[in-house]
Amino acid sequence: MLLLVNRTRLDGMLVDTYTVRMDDLRFVWDDRKNLANRKKHGVSFEEARTAFLDENAKVYFDPDHSRAEDRFILLGISLQLRVLVVCHCYREGDAVVRIISARRADKAEQEVYWRLTP
């Protein structure tokens, strides 16, 4: 996996965006959490995994939820053509992505995605 960091201004705030290139990336998650997430948000982790294939996806560091481990938020389009917000962390030297939660992006998040997409 290749991770590139780009520091930009977004709505007056300095934000780091990350570009991730996946070659041999694996995904893991808790099956009970996946079921609960599907019931709560209508998004499965199987679908969320496909948002990582979006070459225009944006990845942000999530300092508010990074006490025990570094967590990230991916904003990208799934293969079902829905803009998703996927909370995740990296394991095993960034070769494994652990999906923590996933939901459809709200209107403001979708606008950010489309504004930053070339």
pLDDT digits (tens, 9 = 90+) for 69-83: 899 999 999 999 999
Compute CA distances 68 → 16, 31, 64, 97, whole Å.
Answer: 21, 21, 11, 16
Query: pLDDT higher for 101 or 25?
Result: 101
Residues 87, 100: Cα–Cα separation, whole Å:
5
pLDDT of residue 21: 59
Residue 92 predicted with pLDDT over 60: yes
Give the whole-angstrom CA distance, residue 5 versus residue 48: 22
